[in-house]
């Protein structure tokens, strides 16, 4: 009997060890955009911190665009995704009822860039020019581009549309001479690549008086102030640029403690995040909790925000 008891105890310990090892080795998928995009760098920064500081094995999974990221997260094929705030709202309407927000991570500042020697200085100057539109793999960016044109009283009929699937192609077409501008977010490696390749780029100024027209097309947009600096390639003087929020999304099927740990690890290691991705300097738990309509926050995120005594902020 003693031998049998000993054998059973050993077997139980072996099973416990095995299951503990499996739990420790669990991989969390993080769906993002292609390398050279701002979101790929941001996801890589967050994944690095979660792994090194939180002990979570997070695998960055590049995709063709937001139209792929949202379904992946909505079907729980990836536990985390990074995208603009408009995408999960649309995803919820398309039937992905399990989509949840984790946090806003930073504002996406997304100007139109032109060659520095082009003579173009404002969005109004794009009338009759070749402008990237369509964004078939990132459909909401088409609304953003049209909203930005609307600030200058322009529509698709006033420009020569160059249809592209995503922002990488927008930049590549610009480099190839097929477009007179390209659309990208500050902080992305691709922006610096284009700047060096063409001998300098410039950000087009936007007219804040046109924002009411822009919001009729895309309600989540707002203007933020920028000034010349290492991140803001192409900014020649203090100015305002079109912005909207970049968010982390997840599925309701992901356990609360996983989401809580993601937020807690990010908040406690913000310096490490910024070391890889400077735009994450804006991130904090207070910044991340906002009053969005549509997609709700994950219960694990709400628990974290409540424990920090935070209230949701209104959109700027």
In degrees and rounded to multiples of 5, residue 68 shows phi and psi of -95, -40
- Return the CATH class of domain 109-244: alpha beta
Q: What is the pLDDT of residue 24?
A: 47
Domain ranges of the chain: 26-107+245-307, 109-244
- Return the CATH class of domain 26-107+245-307: alpha beta
Q: 198: left (phi > 0), else alpha (psi -120 to 50), else beta? A: alpha
Q: What is the 3-state secondary structure (H, E, C) of 111-153?
A: CEEEECCCCCCEHHHHCCCEEEEECCCCHHHHHHHHHHHHCCC
Q: What is the pLDDT of residue 169?
A: 96
Positive or negative, the CA dihedral 285, 62, 244, 174 is positive
Do the domains 26-107+245-307 and 109-244 sit in the same CATH topology, yes or no? yes
How many residues comprise the chain? 316
Kindly report whether the global pTM for this prediction surpasses the value 0.75: yes
Please list the helix, strand and coil fractions of the chain in percent, rounded to the nearest 5, in that order: 45, 20, 35
Which residues neighbour 255 within 8 Å (Cβ) at sequence distance 6 or greater?
A: 300
Tens digits of pLDDT across the chain (316 residues):
444 454 454 444 444 444 444 344 699 999 999 998 889 999 999 999 999 999 999 999 999 888 899 999 999 999 999 999 999 999 999 999 999 999 999 999 999 999 999 999 999 999 999 999 999 988 889 999 999 999 999 999 999 999 999 999 999 999 999 999 999 999 888 999 999 999 999 999 999 999 999 999 998 899 999 999 988 999 999 999 999 999 999 999 999 999 999 999 999 999 999 999 998 999 999 999 998 888 999 999 999 999 999 999 876 6
């Amino acid at each position: 009997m003693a031998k049998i008891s000993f054998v059973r105890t050993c077997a139980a310990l072996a099973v416990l060890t095995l299951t503990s090892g499996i739990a420790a080795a669990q991989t969390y998928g993080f769906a993002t955009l292609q390398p050279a995009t701002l979101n790929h760098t941001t996801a890589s920064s967050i994944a690095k911190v979660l792994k090194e500081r939180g002990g979570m094995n997070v695998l960055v999974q590049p995709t063709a665009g937001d139209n792929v990221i949202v379904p992946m997260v909505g079907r729980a094929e990836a536990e985390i995704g990074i995208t603009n705030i408009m995408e999960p709202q649309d995803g919820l309407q398309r039937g992905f009822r399990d989509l949840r927000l984790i946090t806003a991570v930073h504002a996406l500042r997304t100007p139109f860039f032109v060659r520095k020697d082009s003579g173009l200085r404002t969005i109004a100057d794009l009338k009759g020019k070749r402008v990237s539109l369509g964004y078939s793999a990132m459909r909401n960016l088409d609304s953003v581009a049209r909203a930005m044109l609307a600030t200058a009283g322009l529509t698709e009929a006033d420009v020569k549309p160059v249809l592209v699937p995503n922002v990488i192609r927008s930049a590549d077409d610009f480099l190839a001479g097929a477009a007179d501008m390209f659309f990208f977010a500050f902080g992305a490696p691709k922006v610096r690549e284009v700047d060096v390749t063409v001998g300098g780029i410039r950000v087009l100024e936007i007219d804040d008086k046109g924002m009411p027209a822009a919001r009729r097309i895309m309600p989540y947009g707002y203007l933020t102030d920028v000034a010349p600096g290492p991140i803001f390639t192409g900014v020649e003087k203090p100015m305002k640029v079109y912005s909207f929020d970049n968010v982390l999304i997840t599925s309701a099927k992901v356990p609360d403690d996983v989401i809580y740990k993601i937020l807690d690890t990010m908040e406690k290691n913000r310096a490490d995040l910024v070391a890889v991705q400077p735009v994450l300097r804006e991130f904090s738990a207070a910044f991340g909790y906002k009053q969005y309509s549509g997609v709700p926050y994950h219960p694990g995120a709400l628990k974290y925000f409540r424990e920090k005594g935070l209230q949701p902020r209104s959109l700027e």
